Amino acid sequence: MNGASPLPFGDVFFGWSWLDAIIRIVIVVLIMTVVVVYLTYGERKVVARIQQRLGPNRVGPWGLLQGFADAIKLLIKEDIRPRAADRWVFEFAPFLTFIPVLMVLAALPFARDWGVRNVTLGLLFVNAALGLNIVGIMMAGLGSGNKYALLGGVRAAAQMISYEIPLVISIICVAMVAGTLDLNAIAILQEDRPFLLLQPLAFVIFFTAMLSELHRAPFDIPVAESEIVGGYFVEYSGIRWSMFQLTEYASLWAFSIFGSVVFLGGWEFPMGSDWGWGWQLFLTFVKSLAWIIAVMWVRTTVPRLRIDQLMSFCWKVLLPMSLVQLLMNGFILVYDWPQELLTLTSGIGAAALVGFILYRTARHPSVAHLVGAYKRAGAQAQ
């Protein structure tokens, strides 16, 4: 981002902005690798807890070094390229998926004025960059010379293009309320209340679309293990496979920080600006952790959607709801109606969305008698 914001973001190392940017990005990348290693460990522990298992507990105390052991194993593993693969496409795809995440990390604020760079169009930038990592996925799907990979690539493309629309619209809703695209400024605006309270519907839509962009259950269709055995990265091994894994967890982390900045007040709420940067970092950490655990929780309990259900959920439910949110925001902001109205309308919308899903959870009518029968029989037997 050469010509991006010329204003310095915090203190500049040695007064030389290029060197400063490089040092900062290196630090962020190093932190990211550690975060990713512990995210994999944490995910395995959380999933194990939910599934009544123990999870990794052998390498190091409580299995804390398991992630590093896995990383070493992946690094020294043989790098296999199928003969049918398109060589350069196949080999560059993992790196192309990773670069956008790196770009996102360069624009995220971790605390007040703490980050690589403050991009004035941060909100748009993050979206644009996250939209790019589909290219690497498509390249992996096309270049692997494998039908599962091809199917995974097709599914990923269809899914990510579709869900990008409600994702962007839900973020635009927040931008309307905030009146700026600068992530740092958005966080500062949430000093007294997070935007979650003003835009619950946008939050629900954002969270759902984010799960889809991350290929997390119930939207893990492109990587569906039981259908297309891993999808686009089925042919990868060793370091290239670990690049995909790194991308997955790094983008989970990036999304969690981005989401907590945009909706939960990031490092600012509560008391962020009063209690100093230590508290701000802690707030970012806690919020992104809560976000990540929510994602993992959803992953372990929810089955996978089918591709047509996925599409119709996006185009028939999420997109109209996000447009409704956009429209309501427009009216309320143009006529300067009180902000409570935002909360109210958006809350009603969110309740309608969640209620719609809950309503459909009602049991299948054709087996109602069956459920009753076996419950009774079971009661008798007990």
Measured in degrees and rounded to the nearest 5, phi and psi for residue 194 equal -70, 155
The only residue of 12, 25, 132, 351 in contact with other proteins, by rule CB under 8 A: 132
Asked if 97 contacts 136 with a C-beta cutoff of 8 angstroms, the reply is yes
Determine the distance from the C-alpha atom of residue 295 to the mean position of all C-alpha atoms in its chain, rounded to a whole number. Answer: 8
Residues within window 82-121 making contact with other proteins, judged by CB under 8 A: 86, 89, 120-121
Residues within window 269-308 making contact with other proteins, judged by CB under 8 A: 299-308
3-state SS string over 80-113? CCCCCCCHHHHHHHHHHHHHHHHHHHCCCCCECC
> Could you give the C-alpha distances from 147 to 138, 184, 231, in angstroms and in order?
13, 44, 9
User: Where does this chain touch other proteins (CB under 8 A) — which range of 212-220, 254-262, 267-275, 345-353?
Assistant: 212-220
The least CB distance from residue 5 to other proteins, in Å, is 9
From the list 303, 292, 206, the residue with the least C-alpha distance to 249 is 292
The least CB distance from residue 280 to other proteins, in Å, is 27
Measured in degrees and rounded to the nearest 5, phi and psi for residue 114 equal -110, 115
Nearer to other proteins, 121 or 341 (CB): 121
The only residue of 153, 200, 222, 231 in contact with other proteins, by rule CB under 8 A: 153
Between CA 174 and CA 306 the distance in angstroms is: 30
Nearer to other proteins, 70 or 164 (CB): 164
Report the SS3 class of residue 246. helix
Residues within window 220-259 making contact with other proteins, judged by CB under 8 A: 220-221, 224-229
192 forms part of the interface with other proteins (CB under 8 A) = no
How much is the CA Rg of the chain, to the nearest whole Å?
A: 22
142 forms part of the interface with other proteins (CB under 8 A) = yes
The only residue of 36, 151, 169, 211 in contact with other proteins, by rule CB under 8 A: 151
Asked if 183 contacts 108 with a C-beta cutoff of 8 angstroms, the reply is yes
Asked if 231 contacts 224 with a C-beta cutoff of 8 angstroms, the reply is yes
Nearer to other proteins, 57 or 300 (CB): 300
The least CB distance from residue 376 to other proteins, in Å, is 9
25 forms part of the interface with other proteins (CB under 8 A) = no
Asked if 205 contacts 166 with a C-beta cutoff of 8 angstroms, the reply is yes
The least CB distance from residue 1 to other proteins, in Å, is 7
The two counts, helices (H) then strands (E), for the chain are 15, 0
Residues within window 38-77 making contact with other proteins, judged by CB under 8 A: 47, 50-53
What track of x and - describes contact with other proteins for positions 335 through 364 (by CB under 8 A)?
Answer: ----------------------xx-xx-xx
H/E run at residue 192: none
The least CB distance from residue 374 to other proteins, in Å, is 4
The least CB distance from residue 156 to other proteins, in Å, is 9
